[in-house]
Structure 1
């Protein structure tokens, strides 16, 4: 296959590639043996202004696999650093992902088009630069579920089988994921230049990020401070939304924390079944650093690392910069709590405010934890309870249910409207871990994508009542669920 396909263009721009060479490495994807399109996200393609039929053609699949480049591609691997489980690595970068360029959709929004699993780059650190089929399909499935839940996320445009094995503990079928993001700029991107004392690059990166994600900040009296506050607000809202659906990222390193406020890098992620703030699924999170209940604290820690990197831009006087940064980070808990509390109130059907509401919420979570109630099913059952039913799932709540019904009765409107609002706030479906594993196993072990397709179809309509098996918690008595990084 030639390096480029004559006449085929995707309308790519390259604002990040126009930054100085130390921001990235220019590297082309490594061709694969036998690319085969597994799944194409046609609605997303159309949203991006791309022709799904073209992407599904032989020429399109060659691009999605990394076997060919459109004429307007300028492929690069981005440089960044990061704190991984608290330890700082000054040089990470895209070790198996290559940015083809930026699409400007019909809506005017700029989005990166990246190939994940596209081969070695100068940042690979001895790794093969490839991705296995299971993690590629996991990211496709869960990122689409997150999008349907209204949670900011990178999106999956296509999954392509490579026809080659990748070698982890055992040989596994390889795949490439075509991923779309508002950008791939991370907290670690700023840390990379701060660690090198490269003040010029730090300012260039901040100016680029402001133009892309916070254009209003450019007009503020202190643009870099306004930019940081924008990142902080987006991350507070994002993690609150994670918490409201029981999502556990699993690897909240600073290189997995975006400036855009999108969820990125679905490695050892999972959704909580029984409510327990200490829930951890990742096989490498031995001490619960990234447990469900720790996520608000960890994102604040990550933002503090971003503030450290940006100190020279906050103020030329180090003491003044530190003083402002500490005060800004000190405002994060209130930002998060406001977003989280607003979401919890909606999940309880409370549109007005009363003095005892916080205690009502706290009492619910305490009882759910004590009884290990299913997080998603319990909140969803409140809609039936609002219409007078007595759902068995809520029986362990005891007199709390009566207190909540009394409080809900003081909200305006008929019971049917309140129940409808509760169903809009509480999904019936999340990517249940056992169903995700079932779908991935069928795809990897038997080349059967039917379970994947069926689950994806349900996950794209999370607030509609699904067939019972998709809403049910996992069968009792199974082994503890464990996720793996997938790298």
Structure 2
């Protein structure tokens, strides 16, 4: 099977202990569900016939130049350290350089067991594959750094989970890299200084060539993560499983498992079925990412010539991170209420609105979008309280040039709501992919006032509320 993918691989040149080379386990009857032609064009991958695409992106055929391998890493999972994890159901197919000159990974998810599967089957069922496709592409349309979906392929084989046999699928994920905090933890935990140095050198060359020391790398990664989490908060996104092995050095959102966008606003919102204590709830994400960066900083200390001084310096950098997140959060939320360049004095105005929303159990997305046309008032059982806030808000907006334009650019009209995702999955399992295709089309323009998307803007009815989201492994 020949397919012209312009691979130019580099990760496989690292020492052999960084990965295990292997090919995917073939599937019975691969069938293409969707191929992201726009993304493929950016990557220099030409469209070909669906049968070839299905074979390649199911893992049945290895295209020329590919270098399939499973990466090893460690990680803190819900605070507990696992010294060896790794790609248990994924393979790095290879790397390409896109139109902008950025090196991108192509990874198959659900391609079969690897040495890191930990008794798992290495497969994915259709639901999580379609969820990641839809949500990751929606995040891209929201201009939030993210991995992306290149292809989804049905395998023609069942995958057995708690609910019984489910249709299997493989996702092809594109990322700036799959280097994680957990990748650094793997070598640091083994006191493998040579491996740690090789990983550091590779990461700097790939992501931060301006970095002159581990301290510089830490600075840039902290800044990327601070901005990313603030962006999540600004759209009501909850990752759900912010383990250190799910924290990418590139600053991209990665590993869409039990993720969700909030409907009703509350700062302690949790959806993930495996997050029993709310460690990765909405409001905790800003604290957890600081903790994750502390773990990353710890892995870099052995690379420093004066480790005692490095501990002091790195600790100060991590302790400064909450202020970075809060500054970015205030900037983004200020724009959500129409203030182009908010100051610290505007923070109270934002927080007062959020407090009112929490008390009223207002819809997060629709309330902010409703500030544009005045419909936000309807979200409050006590509109008088909103009116008091709105009087102060309107007075502040008199100082702005074009607050409506600022709000339209900051507040999506439509998000991938949980109940619509679940309905889409149910339809796909029954063989109907029209809801999947429609979500992708509508969510590609999240800031547009699309009259055809009115049903997708509606919060769930009581019977439609999704109480918990699941990882799908």
1:195 matched to 2:189? The reply is: yes
Alignment of 1:351-366 (within 5 A): 351-353=340-342, 356-366=345-355
Deviation at 1:10, TM superposition (A): 1.1
2: distance between equivalents of 1:265 and 1:8? 27
Post-superposition offset of 1:228: 1.0
Whether 2:86 is the aligned partner of 1:63: answer no
Q: Which residue of 1 aligns with 2:335?
A: 346
Q: Per the alignment, in what secondary structure is the counterpart of residue 157 of structure 2?
A: strand
Gaps of 5+ in 1: none
1:365 CA displacement: 1.2
Local SS of the residue matching 2:32: strand
User: 1 CA distance for matches of 2:273 and 2:351?
Assistant: 30
Q: How does 1:257-406 map to 2 (within 5 A)?
A: 257-313=247-303, 315-353=304-342, 356-385=345-374, 391-393=377-379, 395=383, 397-406=386-395
Deviation at residue 478 of structure 1 after TM alignment: 4.8
1:129 maps to 2:122: yes
Aligned-residue offset at 1:334: 1.4
SS class of match (1:381): helix
Query: Are the aligned partners of 2:335 and 2:342 in contact in 1 as well (CA < 8 Å)?
Result: no
Distance of aligned partners of 1:367 and 1:391 in 2 relative to their CA distance in 1, 3 Å threshold: closer
C-alpha contact (below 8 Å) 2:340/2:406 kept by paired residues: no
Aligned residue in 2 for 1:93: 86
C-alpha separation between the residues in 2 aligned to 1:298 and 1:71? 41
Shift, 1:74, TM fit: 1.1
C-alpha deviation, 1:128, in angstroms: 0.7
Equivalent residue number for residue 403 of structure 2 = 418
Matching residue of 1:250: 240
Structure 2 vs 1, CA of residues 472 and 20 (structure 1 numbering), >3 Å: closer, same or farther? same
- Alignment map for 1:32-47 (pairs within 5 Å): 32-47=27-42
Distance 1:391 1:102 in 2: 50
2:17 to 10, 22, 28: 22
Q: 1:317 to 1:401 in 2, by over 3 A?
A: same
Query: What RMSD over aligned residues (CA atoms) do the two structures have, in Å?
Result: 1.4
Matches within 5 A, 1:419-438: 419-438=404-423
Check conservation: 1:368, 1:397, Cα contact below 8 A: no
Superposition deviation, residue 476 in structure 1? 3.3
Q: CA deviation at 1:393?
A: 2.9
Which residue is 1:459 aligned to?
443
Equivalent position SS for 1:336 = helix
> Matched residue pairs, number?
467
Q: Quote the residue 2:456 is aligned against.
A: 470
Deviation of residue 89 (structure 1)? 0.4
The CA deviation at 1:480 is 5.1
Deviation for aligned residue 1:477: 5.5
2:167 to 143, 165, 173: 173
- 1:439 corresponds in structure 2 to 424
Task: Give the Å deviation of 1:103.
Answer: 0.7
- Whether 1:105 and 2:90 are equivalent positions in the alignment is no
Shift of 1:11: 1.3
Q: 1:229-249: CA deviations, max 9, x gaps?
A: 111100000000000000000
Equivalent position SS for 1:13 = coil
**Residue 75 of structure 2, aligned match among 70, 79, 82:** 82
Structure 1 CA distance for aligned equivalents of residues 331 and 128 of structure 2? 33
Q: TM-score, normalised by structure 2?
A: 0.96
Using a 3 Å threshold, how does the CA distance of structure 1 residues 354 and 51 change in structure 2: closer, same or farther?
Answer: closer
Gaps of 5+ in 2: none
Counterpart for residue 152 of structure 2: 159
Who is 2:208 aligned against?
214
User: What is the match of residue 133 of structure 2?
Assistant: 140
Offset from partner CA, 1:134-174 (integer Å, 9 cap, x none): 00000000000000001000000000000000111110000
